[in-house]
Chain A
Amino acid sequence: DSGVTQTPKHLITATGQRVTLRCSPRSGDLSVYWYQQSLDQGLQFLIQYYNGEERAKGNILERFSAQQFPDLHSELNLSSLELGDSALYFCASSVAAKGLNEQFFGPGTRLTVL
């Protein structure tokens, strides 16, 4: 158990809909990262938040957005869903301090868009 929790575990929805994925980081970790893993792909970095502020952006579509709340949990919002958005979405957390770069991953949310 990494200490990172993600809800829900599975989500099935239709094209054009909007969903919200939730992540709670490990106790003490200030940084939250979101990754997408599609079929046959490695993990693609989407976005990072550090202590409530956006820190880095990766291959995140404009239809996707995220935020980190004062209690450090984070939400990833996916809107106008397309079939190609079906994937595993992982959240990770880390201390993100100098020299400490290990990220700890949650179990993931499997999104299926029909």
Chain B
Amino acid sequence: DQQVKQNSPSLSVQEGRISILNCDYTNSMFDYFLWYKKYPAEGPTFLISISSIKDKNEDGRFTVFLNKSAKHLSLHIVPSQPGDSAVYFCAATAVRAGSYQLTFGKGTKLSVIP
């Protein structure tokens, strides 16, 4: 049973436009969410995170939105750049429950077309 789902395996966006990557979760215990970016032949790189006490967190071109009632989060990249082309993983954890284990989605491959 997948507790973190990224239903779009791939996404193509024109350079300069907005990229929106989506993630859904089923476990109500999750209270901390992270996005990772992964290039081929490299380990995942931490991008941005959000605690369940917030509904938005922004860092430069990257913004993560959290909708707790819908158990849904999204990552917005504005403007998208060719260097953003990578696989993006959504991850979740239950910090208040004492867990630091991350549960990952299967990833969305983003292609930014110049």
Q: Footprint of B on A, CB under 8 Å?
A: 2, 4, 31, 33, 35, 40-45, 48, 55-56, 58, 90, 92, 94, 96, 98-99, 101-108
Number of A-B contacts (CB under 8 A): 65
A101 near B106 with CB under 8 A, answer: no
Give the contacts of B36-69 with A (CB-CB under 8 A). Answer: 36, 41-46, 49, 51
Separation in Å of the A94 CB from the closest CB of chain B? 7
CB pair A42–B46 under 8 Å, yes or no, is no
Neighbouring B residues of A108 by C-beta, 8 Å? 42-43
**Given A43-B89, A45-B101, 19 extra CB contacts under 8 A:** A2-B45, A33-B101, A33-B102, A35-B104, A41-B106, A42-B106, A43-B44, A43-B102, A56-B100, A90-B44, A99-B95, A101-B32, A102-B49, A103-B100, A105-B46, A106-B43, A107-B43, A108-B42, A108-B43
Contacts of A45 in B (CB 8 A): 101-104
Q: Give the distance in Å from the alpha carbon of A100 to the alpha carbon of B79 in the complex.
A: 28
Please give, as numbers and ranges, the residues of chain B lying within 8 Å of A42 by CB-CB distance: 4, 89, 104-107
| Chain A residues in 8 Å Cβ range of B42 | 107-108
Which of B32, B42, B100, B105 has the most chain A CB atoms closer than 10 A to its own CB?
A: B100
Selected contact of A101 from candidates B36, B93, B105, CB within 8 Å: B93
Q: Is B28 an interface residue (CB 8 A)?
A: no
Q: Which residues of B contact A (CB under 8 A)?
A: 4, 32, 34, 36, 41-46, 49, 51, 89, 93, 95, 99-107
CB B38 to nearest CB in A, in angstroms, measures 9
The dominant DSSP class at the A interface is loop
- The chain B residue sitting closest to A110, CB to CB, is B41
* 7 A-B pairs with C-beta separation under 8 A: A2-B43, A33-B100, A45-B102, A45-B103, A56-B101, A102-B49, A107-B43
Given the interface pairs A98-B95, A101-B34, the reply to whether A48 lies near B46 with Cβ below 8 Å is no
By beta carbon, the residue of chain A nearest B106 is: A42
User: Which single residue of chain A is at the shortest CB-CB distance from B44?
Assistant: A105
Tell me which residues across on chain A come within 8 A of B44, comparing CB atoms: 43, 90, 105
On whether the beta carbons of A4 and B107 are closer than 8 Å, the reply is: no
Cβ of B95 and Cβ of A101 under 8 Å apart?
yes
